[in-house]
Amino acid sequence: MNLRQLGRSGLNVSEIGLGCMGMSFSYADIPPPDTMIPVLRGAVEAGVTFFDTAEVYGPYTNEHLLGEALAPFKGQVTIATKFGFRLLPEGEAAPLGATGLGLDSRPETIRHAVEGSLRRLRVEKIDLLYQHRVDPTVPIEDVAGAVGELIAAGKVIRWGLSEAGAGTIRRAHAVTPLSALQSEYSIWSRQVEREILPLLDELGIGLVAYSPLGKGFLTGAVSADTPIGAGDFRAVLPRFTPEARAKNRALVDLLADLGRSRGATPAQMALAWVMAQRPWIVPIPGSTKLSRIEENLGAAAIKLSAQDLTALTKAAAAIEIEGARYPEAIEKTTGL
């Protein structure tokens, strides 16, 4: 697995990372943690060096899982985690939705979150720390300043934002330079292209693309008839109604048709498309199955020419996507 540098940050990670949320959070049928340890270690052996988690995933349990699973690879992998939600103390928390107790990026909350993440991840420094969502009640300059103090104290190496708008990115970067922005980006969620990607290029900030496989839809494994179980957050997403899934299947069919001559799956074509957009974009598809992770990593071998990329982008743009990516209330928590 080759490496990519996130912007001009100096941080080099595997060109495809692993989003670990689904191992502990948001989907139905959460697997037992002990079954995920060999999956995470197998991902490292397959070439993944970049892993994504957050304190709210569980809450807390996902960081504990990565801390245990990746302890043998200390110094060989990069772990990104996130702060930004008000949570019950560890040990008292029941599973919560991502906005369970509200946003909270007060400096004292950030410092407390970092101490907990360091302990759960079993590391001395956090490789990459994101603000999970912009908190409108706390000036971003105060957030950047608090993280800057943690960097100066040697507890955090680099930091970034998630789903932030252009103005917020500029203001934060002016106080404590950002290494990465994490935002949803895929061939069916292209909201960062008009304003955000040019800004990141200007400032030398990398993009970490979450949900590059459309929360599983672009793999082709989800049809209009696929049951979405209780506790699966996709049940509230407009793009995942049965009607929307039936209509949006046209995009999966396009990826499958174009991939067939290359011996590539729809998932691999979707990831190759994301990676071809900029050399400083790193997708972090998630999975709980090592076979799927290995399939995703196969996308790194697919090199789309400029002609291929133009043809795929044009064909995808001609397909009208049914449904918003989030309900309105959740979309308002993003800056896009």
Catalytic residue numbers, as ranges: 57
Q: Which long-range contacts (CB under 8 A, 24 or more apart) does 105-113 make?
A: 105/131, 105/134, 105/135, 105/138, 105/143, 106/135, 106/138, 106/142, 107/142, 107/143, 107/145, 107/146, 109/83, 110/83, 110/143, 110/146, 110/147, 110/150, 111/146, 111/150, 113/55, 113/83, 113/84
Closest CA to 11 of 125, 117, 124: 125
